[in-house]
Structure 1
Amino acid sequence: MKKMMVMLLSVIMITSIFMVGCTSKESSGGGEGSSDAGYSGKTYKWVAQSPWPSGTTLHWMAEEIARDITAATGGRLEVEMHPAGSIVAAFDILDAVDTGTLDAIHSWEGYWVGQIQAAGFFASMPLGMNEQQYMTWVLQDEGTELWKETFADYNVEVLPAGAYTPEVFYHSTVPIQNLDDLKDLRVRGSAFWGEIQSRLGANVINVPGGEVYQALERGMVDAAEFATPTDNWGLGFHEVAEYLVVPGAHQPTSTFSFMVNQQRWDELPDDLKEIVMLVTENMWGKAWSYAAYQDMQTMEKYRELEEQGKLTIIEFDEGDQVRMSEVTNEYYAELAEKDEQFRKVWESQNKFLEKYNYWRDFMSPSY
């Protein structure tokens, strides 16, 4: 009898402990950093858009962010990414996420320099930083802080979201080996690079990206820049321009962001915010390595065309690249005098580069 009582008491104690544990878990929620969605079953859905056409490396980046967030949150936050023009026009996405028409966007800030000149520093600057420099400045120095500050007038949470590979300098119907060859040529250009090309003696024509092929084919322009080797290959520029000019000094890298409407961001529990931030930070390595791998293979295709006599690859004169840098910095200095935020960001990058380049030059081998 005594033995049976002991066994009964043991069962009661175990059952009680189990019930207390379950009750404790189910009542968890609230408090600093907790996730009520994890226990209440609450889910969120964001409708997002990029400014990129489907099938491009650029839209792949946007789609990967959406897929990774959805997967990493176990579907608690679903991001539905749409290509350019699906919901709003490509150049209207910033206003759309600001007003809440879109919950989030994949963005290249070069599109917004008309509203905010300093935005160009968070996209790509001609003769500017490369991807490693940008990544370090953004993730470790004050780049993220200045990025958010530059867009403070918009109702958005700005999340830096990776870098892209260098662009092709020109697809051209005539050889361009130096600055003398560039003078008086009709070239595609816009924003900062358009002005710089004008200062270098070129005749700049603003051609939309979707019309570059036709502009080269019909002789509207002699040379055009657009994107990376891979994306340019897909658009067939090599079919109508027999010269490929490198390196992409005008755009040594491009950086991107994932912007979220502030109200949509604020309603997320802390753990989901942390996952979104980790996904976007991860894109600094994921996006660049993916694009680089694609470009490696594409350059092999260009090399095969050159071996077949169908294309000529030209390396632009190194000394004239330095001269372009000098002209570019003169132009930036003029802009800095007129725009306080532009000056602040430009000075931050220059201060960072002075230390970064000192370290890199000593520590990078010459072989």
Structure 2
Amino acid sequence: MKRREFLTWAGAAGIAATALSGCSSETGEQAGAVTTDGPTPADPIRWKMVTTWPKNFPGLGTGANNIAQYINEMSGGRLVVEVYGAGEIVPALEVFDAVKAGTAEMGHGAAYYWQGKMPAAAFFAAMPFGLTANEMNGWLYHGDGIELWEELYAPHGIIPRPAGNTGPQMGGWFRKPIESLDDFRGLKMRLPGIGGEVLRKLGVSVVNTPGGELFQALNDGTIDAAEWVGPFNDLAFGFHRAAKYYYAPGWQEPSATMEALINREAFEQLPEDLQMIVEGAIRMAAGEMLAEFTARNNRALKTLIDEHGVELRYFSDEIMAALFDKSNEVLAEITGKDAFAKRVFESLTEYRRDVAGWTEGSEFTFLQARQRYLE
């Protein structure tokens, strides 16, 4: 399938309005409605969406809910999507297989969960020392990103779409201070994707525990540290009750793209206007997710520090330098073993070189100046 031009808010609303327009006041005939022999609100198409998140979890789970709501409303009830949290139909880490098999027509998660199936998948979620949220959106929509992503998932009968971004993440929760590289050795930590492979090189035992099981694992000492998202989500999970030390920056995920998975066969059976509504709804929900994380993270961080006594700390220069070096080693290993991963990495890093000059010359210098004058 060739890359489809996504809808803007206005475009999506226009499609919905056209599809749902009522009778003309003068003629009683349909005013510009799309003619279709497809479903009606009385007899709708029903889809299931399975997610890697707990049901209704703030930001991520509600991002999936938003997609379903927009599809339901924009289609006028002709396509109804019901969302299922992790474990309700399939476990969190079986979402990809469920969409592939047609057990569910849609899924919602993050591509690095499928790194074991496809090494290149992780690049579509996050790369250590990679791209900001705005930069990532630029690569996906105006670079090679979405086309490469589609090509990777095509043999599985799945259409991927960017479904949101958390923005910059945090470096993780630790039950003890991390003051030197020696403090990493022997830790058992949850951290998915390429970042987890980097920590292995520093002597960390890395696990990919689903989000819904993380608090208990950290609280009872099954793991010593955990990375989830950032203050907004981490406060909701209550990690501050299990670990005291909260580290930044999120070197492993300078931003994290969420994904919507669509079963290709189910999608191609939809009338064209419903296909466009699905695409538009995903794009709309994606923008809302990043806006919500941006608005809520600092408030949540202040709550963690001021009300719960969390210690916000920063990785030392020594640690950051080692993480950068080990990241390059891991990336070289991944791309050396997998030809498609190499293609994706080369596209992404070429784009990063191109876009970095603008980001640093505009946003970075502005933020430095703003902070100086606001102090």
**TM-score, length of structure 1 as denominator length:** 0.83
Unaligned segments of structure 2, at least 5 residues: 1-23, 370-375
Which residue of the partner structure matches residue 322 of structure 2?
A: 323
**Pair 1:94-2:96 in alignment:** yes
Tell me the secondary structure at the aligned position of residue 356 of structure 1. Answer: helix
Cα offset, 1:121, TM superposition: 0.9
Cα offset, 1:149, TM superposition: 0.6
Q: Counterparts of 2:91 and 2:197 in 1: how far apart (Å)?
A: 26
Cα offset, 1:303, TM superposition: 2.4
Q: Counterparts of 2:273 and 2:322 in 1: how far apart (Å)?
A: 49
Q: Counterparts of 1:254 and 1:79 in 2: how far apart (Å)?
A: 25
Q: Counterparts of 1:118 and 1:50 in 2: how far apart (Å)?
A: 21
Cα offset, 1:229, TM superposition: 1.6
For residues 22-60 of structure 1, the C-alpha deviation after alignment (integer angstroms, 9 at most, x for no partner) is 78x69x99xxxx541589877422122212112312110
Are 2:196 and 2:206, in contact at CA under 8 Å, matched by a contact in 1?
Answer: yes
Which residue of the partner structure matches residue 36 of structure 1?
A: 36
Which residue of the partner structure matches residue 56 of structure 1?
A: 57
Q: 1:151 aligns with which of 132, 150, 153?
A: 153
Q: 2:110 aligns with which of 108, 111, 119?
A: 108
Single out whichever of 336-345 and 317-326 deviates more from structure 2.
317-326
Which residue of the partner structure matches residue 360 of structure 1?
A: 359
Q: Percent sequence identity over matched residues? A: 30
- Structure label with greater radius of gyration: 1
Flag the 1:285–1:202 CA change in 2: closer, same or farther, 3 A.
same
Flag the 1:69–1:37 CA change in 2: closer, same or farther, 3 A.
farther
**Superposition map of 1:281-292 within 5 A:** 281-292=283-294
Cα offset, 1:173, TM superposition: 1.9
Which residue of the partner structure matches residue 242 of structure 1?
A: 244
- Give the partner amino acid of 2:127: M
Q: Counterparts of 1:163 and 1:136 in 2: how far apart (Å)?
A: 13
Tell me the secondary structure at the aligned position of residue 80 of structure 2. Answer: strand
For residues 148-185 of structure 1, the C-alpha deviation after alignment (integer angstroms, 9 at most, x for no partner) is 01111111222222211333312112112443443444
State how many pairs are aligned.
Answer: 340
Tell me the secondary structure at the aligned position of residue 261 of structure 2. Answer: strand
Cα offset, 1:243, TM superposition: 1.2
**Superposition map of 1:76-225 within 5 A:** 76-204=78-206, 207-225=209-227
For residues 208-244 of structure 1, the C-alpha deviation after alignment (integer angstroms, 9 at most, x for no partner) is 5444334433434332222322222222221121211
**Superposition map of 1:235-314 within 5 A:** 235-305=237-307, 310-314=309-313
For residues 301-347 of structure 1, the C-alpha deviation after alignment (integer angstroms, 9 at most, x for no partner) is 012137xxx32110222453243122202211121111001000000
Note the aligned Cα RMSD (angstroms).
2.7
- Give the partner amino acid of 1:192: I
Cα offset, 1:198, TM superposition: 2.0
Q: Counterparts of 1:348 and 1:183 in 2: how far apart (Å)?
A: 34
Unaligned segments of structure 1, at least 5 residues: 1-17
For residues 185-214 of structure 1, the C-alpha deviation after alignment (integer angstroms, 9 at most, x for no partner) is 443344532321121233445555444334
Tell me the secondary structure at the aligned position of residue 174 of structure 1. Answer: coil
Flag the 1:216–1:48 CA change in 2: closer, same or farther, 3 A.
closer
- Give the partner amino acid of 1:329: N
Single out whichever of 280-289 and 114-123 deviates more from structure 2.
280-289
Flag the 1:220–1:52 CA change in 2: closer, same or farther, 3 A.
closer
Single out whichever of 169-178 and 133-142 deviates more from structure 2.
169-178
Are 2:56 and 2:85, in contact at CA under 8 Å, matched by a contact in 1?
Answer: no
Flag the 1:178–1:127 CA change in 2: closer, same or farther, 3 A.
farther
Are 1:158 and 1:257, in contact at CA under 8 Å, matched by a contact in 2?
Answer: yes
Flag the 1:254–1:185 CA change in 2: closer, same or farther, 3 A.
same
Runs of 4+ that moved beyond 6 A: 38-42
- Give the partner amino acid of 2:358: W
Single out whichever of 316-325 and 262-271 deviates more from structure 2.
316-325
Cα offset, 1:66, TM superposition: 0.3
Q: Counterparts of 2:235 and 2:303 in 1: how far apart (Å)?
A: 9
**TM-score, length of structure 2 as denominator length:** 0.82
Are 1:35 and 1:269, in contact at CA under 8 Å, matched by a contact in 2?
Answer: no
Which residue of the partner structure matches residue 334 of structure 1?
A: 333
Q: Counterparts of 1:217 and 1:160 in 2: how far apart (Å)?
A: 33
Which residue of the partner structure matches residue 12 of structure 1?
A: none
Which residue of the partner structure matches residue 46 of structure 1?
A: 47
- Give the partner amino acid of 1:195: E
For residues 118-167 of structure 1, the C-alpha deviation after alignment (integer angstroms, 9 at most, x for no partner) is 01011222332221111111111111101101111111222222211333
Are 2:240 and 2:310, in contact at CA under 8 Å, matched by a contact in 1?
Answer: yes
